[in-house]
Structure formats: C-alpha cells, structure tokens
C-alpha cells in the first residue's frame, strides 16, 4: 500500500465504520510526509512527546493548511468574523484566556461547577430512558447520546430552553464543512454560513447575560472582573461557541460509540449491569478504544524537530493521529481488545499538554451516567444493523444514528444513585495522569 493512499483510505467515508486496519498500516511509519508537505504522526510515544513540545504551535494563523480548511470547529478567521479561542493559541495568550475561562468552570475558583451537576445529569438521563418505555426500537443517538450533553451544556452556559433547535442547524452545517469529500468551495460556503449565524446567536446571548446575569457560566464570564481583566467581547463570543459546540458534539460520539461497543461485547454489558461502578474505568477504556476525536490537525513546527528518525522542518503542518496512537502495541498490550478494567490506562482520548481537553471532567461524568443507565434499565438491547451509519467527519467520528431494539424499560435504580460513592478512589489514570473521576484540581489545566 502506498504511503499516501493509507491516509486517503482513512479519510474515505467508505472506511468510516472501521479505520483501524489503516491506522495499523500508518504506524509502520511513525512519522511520514504526505505529498502536500504536511506530516502525520501515528505512534503513542511520538504523539505524546509532540503534545508537550513547545516547538509545536497550535496557532492557526501560523498554519496555511488551517487557513485553507477553515481552521477548526468554532474557529474561523475569514468572512464569518470569528476570533480564535485559546484552543488555537500558544502560550502565553493561550494560558491567559484558558485561565479566565477556567475561573468559572473548575478549581480553584469554582470547584463544584461540574460535580454539582451530577444529580441533574442523572435526572436528565432518567427522563430520557423513561421516554423509551412504550417503544420497541430506539435511536441511541437521537434519544440519549445527543439530548443529554446538549441539555447539560445549554444549562451550564445559560442557553434558554428551546434555543437548542436554533443552533443545531448551524452546528450541523459547520460539521458538514469538515467532510473531506466536499469540494473546497462548498466547504467554505457552509463554514461561513454556519459561522455567521452562530456568531450572531452567541453575541445575542452574551449581551443578554451581561444585562441580566444569572448563575450560569456565560453570565460569570460576561461579567468577570478578575485579576486578569475581562475577556474581550469578540473573544468571549468565540469562547462561548467553542464551549457550546465542543461541549456536546464530542460527548455525543463518546456515548454512542460506548453503547455500540457494549452491544458488540454483551459480556461486558452484563458486567456493567451487575456492577455500575465499572462505568468509571470503562469510560477510560472507551476513550482509548473508540475515541470521539480521531486526530488533531493544524499543528505547526516552529523549528526543525527530529523525531523517530525523521526531521519535521520548521513551518511544516502536523496532524497527530490520536486514534492510531491509542492502539499502538508498543504502548499498550492487546490494543485491539476492549478491556473495561484495563490497568494503568494511559490514553490520548483527551489530547494532552497545555491543550488537554477543557471539558474532560464533564464528558467523563456524562458518559459514566448515560452508559450505566443504558446498561441497567434497557431490557435485552440489540443492534438493528452493524455497522450503523456514520457521521461524515473522519476526525469527529461516531454513528449518525444507532437504532437498537429493546424488550422494555426497567424502573430507575442504581443508575440514578450517583457515581461519587462507587469506588471513586480506585480510578484509572489517563495519559496526563488525570484522575478518572468527575473533577479534581489537576483537571484545571493551564
């Protein structure tokens, strides 16, 4: 197989259901140059090293590939008028804006923001599963994996009830623009249309929350006069959109990939049903085995970087293939096996370095609660089709729909009891040495 064709096969939608054989092929050359002059990095040790290397920039203004592709979801530097967020910045700007945002999301200033939502998350999931009671077929994406995280992030940010339907159309449009099967002109058109509408939507929310602040995250950010000053308005709008979109889209994939994996491993589904505490390490294994984000594009080498026998020249664009690194046999034993209680589970499911996923504690808790409720309450769940249809994006990878037949729904029980008391002190650790529980000071990042 030619080197360039391996990556093309990964991007090809026809292989979306199972890209892993191509990742195996990709790892044979840990660092490889593509015909366009960009580089792919696919092995765990090399990815982990570059995620922590200050010579690797996340600044989209330095990356010509980012400009050509419209940067990342929620980021746009052209006609849509978006301002880059800390996701697409380097220190010290990244550190400043991430700290300002984290002041109202996590420790040390707001340690209970996420953990305090656990009971509400359980209530939402219980209601969603209750609504399945009179049905013999459900769609896990539409009925559970999407409505849970979108409801949680809307309540967290202070998005008024009902507005979800307004922005869902624009978010879908933005995600469609990442489809490599589209021609660049169509991608650009979709991206600008979605960005313009989303920016107007968030600006309206910011203005409303500044005039009449509530207890939500967006109000806190809009009225913050902390030690580093208030975030500029255009930065606040872009950051709000980043939290809104990334705060639910990746978790949709985590939950739906998790349900699909459990249905493919009925013995593990039964184990979770019998022992809901297994959800904590199981989510860590899902982040390794079927991660919601498969690769991180648009990194730029600021200097020549010698790695794995290859020199990546200064100015070159990098893509870090997280999903390939997660199944690197040089890092993890039996990488192709789903082992929910895998010991010392260090993975790349949330990235790493200064850009470690901001919302990791929220996504972990949502997935733990959703998968536990699915396992303990749905009777005899079984896949209607395998593989299911997938979303177009190769890097935000997950089912677009996941139809499942069920024999009934049991009354609420252990899934709504809360995860905090379920062996929370005996937790697996992620590649960043982060606890696998709902929240801790280490989650704060920088």
CATH number at residue 210: 1.10.630.10
Give yes or no for a cis peptide into 245 (omega within 30° of 0): no
Q: What is the C-alpha to C-alpha distance for residues 198 and 174, in angstroms, rounded to an integer?
A: 9
DSSP 139-176: EHIIIIITHHHHHHHHHHHTPPTTTHHHHHHHHHHHHH
pLDDT in tens, 193-221: 777 888 889 999 999 999 999 999 999 99
Instruction: Identify the pLDDT of residue 106.
Output: 87
Query: Which structural domain range is residue 371 located in?
Result: 3-444
Residue 255 reports pLDDT greater than 70: yes
Instruction: Identify the pLDDT of residue 68.
Output: 59
Instruction: Identify the pLDDT of residue 430.
Output: 31
- The pLDDT-based confidence of 146 (bands split at 50, 70, 90) is very high
Residue 174 reports pLDDT greater than 90: no
pLDDT in tens, 401-444: 999 999 999 998 644 444 444 443 333 333 333 333 332 222 22
Q: pTM of the entire structure? A: 0.87
Mean pLDDT, rounded, for 52-66: 89
* Helix 164-176 / helix 233-264 crossing angle, nearest 10 deg: 80
- The pLDDT-based confidence of 81 (bands split at 50, 70, 90) is low
- Calculate the average pLDDT of the chain: 87
CA distances from 1 to 6, 11, 126, 389 (A): 7, 15, 48, 27
Instruction: Identify the pLDDT of residue 428.
Output: 33
pLDDT in tens, 338-380: 999 999 999 999 999 999 999 999 999 999 999 999 999 999 9
Instruction: Identify the pLDDT of residue 397.
Output: 96
Q: Which residues pair with 408 in a beta bridge?
A: 379
- The count of structural domains within the chain is 1
């Amino acid at each position: 197989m030619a080197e360039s064709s391996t990556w093309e096969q990964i991007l090809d939608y026809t292989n979306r259901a199972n890209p892993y054989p191509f990742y195996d092929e990709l790892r044979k050359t840990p660092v490889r140059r593509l015909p366009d002059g960009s580089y792919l990095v696919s092995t765990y040790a090399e990815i982990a090293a570059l995620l922590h290397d200050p010579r690797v920039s996340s600044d989209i203004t330095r990356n010509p590939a980012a400009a050509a592709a419209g940067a990342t979801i929620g980021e746009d530097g052209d006609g849509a008028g978006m301002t880059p967020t800390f996701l697409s910045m380097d220190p010290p700007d990244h550190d400043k804006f991430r700290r300002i945002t984290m002041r109202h999301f996590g420790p040390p200033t707001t340690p209970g923001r996420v953990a305090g939502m656990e009971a509400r998350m359980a209530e939402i999931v219980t209601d969603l599963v209750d609504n399945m009671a009179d049905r013999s077929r459900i769609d896990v994406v539409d009925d559970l994996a999407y409505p849970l995280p979108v409801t949680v992030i809307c309540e967290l940010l202070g998005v008024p009830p009902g507005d979800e339907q307004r922005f869902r159309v624009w978010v879908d449009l933005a995600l469609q623009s990442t489809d490599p099967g589209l021609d660049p002109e169509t991608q650009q058109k979709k991206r600008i249309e979605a960005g313009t509408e989303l920016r107007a939507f968030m600006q309206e929310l910011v203005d409303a929350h500044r005039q009449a602040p509530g207890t939500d995250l967006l109000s806190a950010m809009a009225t913050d006069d902390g030690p580093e000053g208030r975030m500029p308005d255009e930065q606040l709008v872009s950051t709000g959109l980043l939290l809104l979109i990334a705060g639910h889209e990746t978790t949709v994939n985590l939950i739906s990939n998790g349900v699909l994996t459990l249905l493919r491993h009925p013995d593990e589904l039964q184990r979770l049903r019998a022992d809901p505490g297994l959800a904590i390490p199981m989510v860590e294994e899902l982040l390794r085995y079927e991660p919601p984000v498969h690769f991180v594009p648009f990194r730029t080498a600021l200097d020549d970087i010698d790695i794995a026998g290859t020199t990546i020249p200064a100015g070159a664009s990098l893509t870090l293939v997280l999903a390939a690194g997660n199944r690197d046999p040089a890092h993890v034993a039996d990488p192709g096996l789903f082992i929910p209680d895998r010991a010392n589970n260090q993975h790349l499911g949330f990235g790493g370095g200064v850009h470690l996923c901001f919302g990791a504690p929220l996504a972990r808790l949502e997935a733990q609660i959703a998968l536990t409720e699915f396992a303990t309450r749905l009777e005899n769940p079984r896949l209607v089709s395998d593989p299911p249809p997938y979303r177009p994006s190769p890097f935000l990878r997950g089912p677009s729909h996941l139809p499942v037949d069920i024999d009934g729904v049991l009354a609420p029980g252990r899934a709504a009891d809360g995860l905090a008391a379920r062996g929370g002190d005996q937790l697996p650790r992620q590649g960043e040495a982060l606890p696998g529980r709902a929240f801790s000071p280490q989650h704060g990042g920088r």
